[in-house]
Amino acid sequence: MTNESTREQGRTEQQLRDDLAQKLIEFGAARSPGVVTAFRNVRRHLATPEVDMARTYDAEFAAITKTDEHGVDISSVSAPRVQAMQMEQADLAPGMTVLEIGSGGPNAANLAEVVGENGHVVTVDIDPEVTDRATRFLKATGYQNVTVLTADAEHGAPEHAPFDRIIVTVQAADIPPEWTAQLKDGGRLVVPLRMRGLTRTVALVRDGDRLVSDGVELCGFVPMQGLGENRVRLAVLHDVEGEEVGLRLDGHPEPDTDALAKALITPPNKAWSGVTLGGSESNEHLDMWLTTELDNLPLLAAKPGARQRGLVASASPLGIPTLVDGDSFAYRTVRATDEDDRYELGAIGHGPHGQQLAERLVEEIRTWDRDHRGDRAHIEVYPAGTPDDRLPADGRRIERRHSRVTITWP
């Protein structure tokens, strides 16, 4: 390759990085100078040489690097937008010591850029293939203030603790006590926490033995492996290939799948709330409200073919909150309004009690709109075994092996 070709490639690569940084600023994902500079500097495409270079600098592109024997994604390089969002939630500063749980390479490099030469990043993953890839990437890109560990991150990295920040890049259903113990008091843990099926990346500040939320964002991550693995289970209601419909269960009561499968093919019952959303307005806080208030609310997952056939009105890869009661269910939906780019929230029910369940969902949608539309859920995490009188008196409690998670609203 000639020197001129080399210079041309360098200009193209730098332009891709600059364009990515600008896009992250426009999205509001990257706000601080350190985070913006990190994305301008890190050569993230070297972590996934099998992927087209320009694709790796797409703000929304997550590169899947490994799947299990069932085809489930178990390792990835997260999308730049999500990485930037978590970095901003962490409130990083030069000189900090940071633990990253779930390695990929580029995110550790981003963190190393922000904490600088006087800071240190420890990145840990259970899979040696993943850590080997991360090690090669960090060597190729010259980041020397990063330590790569192959271990079950359930135990953190005690030999490198305490940490100013811990950033988890895999979905977690629980908070192991080691994570809290290895975090400095006042330090921040940023974790994609799954709560009754819904995953949100939560910034938690350590206050003694409890963690208190200071920011909640929508996200999607591959699940935790090892001792902390606790995957959602799918209860199948319709299993025709390409039209599959099921309920994602995360501590929810065992459903009567036969009765619900029969309900699925009955005529729908609809109820509308009069509450509208703009086309670009997220329903993530509404869904968190619904899962806080309603007891049996798993997520309805459906393939696009099920929607095309008319079995369901909505199909979301993340799942749709669905109220279940015995032989009937109702799920959240929307319809267009006369106003441009606005949609009315409602519910569709199936089964003998489908209409009542749809109206119950609509009632909670109206309550959210009236009392909590501008609010965000407040999340606290306490050690398992914490007495009830130390927990917030109202809201939703989620019991895990290591922790008691509470969700409350202003």
* Residues labelled as active-site residues: 78
User: For residues 2 and 8, what is the distance between their CA atoms, to the nearest angstrom?
Assistant: 10
Q: How far is it, in rounded angstroms, from Cα 136 to Cα 243?
A: 42
Q: Closest Cα to residue 76, out of 152, 171, 157? A: 171
Q: What number of CA atoms fall less than 13 Å from residue 309's CA on the CB side? A: 15
Q: CB-based burial of residue 170 (10 Å sphere; 0-12 exposed, 13-18 middle, 19+ buried)?
A: buried
| Cα(264)–Cα(31) distance, integer angstroms | 45
> Which residue, 126, 140, 153, 124, is CA-closest to 48?
140
3: left (phi over 0), alpha (psi -120 to 50) or beta: alpha
From CA 190, how far away is CA 96, in angstroms rounded? 15
Please count the helices (runs of H) and the strands (runs of E) in the chain. Answer: 11, 19
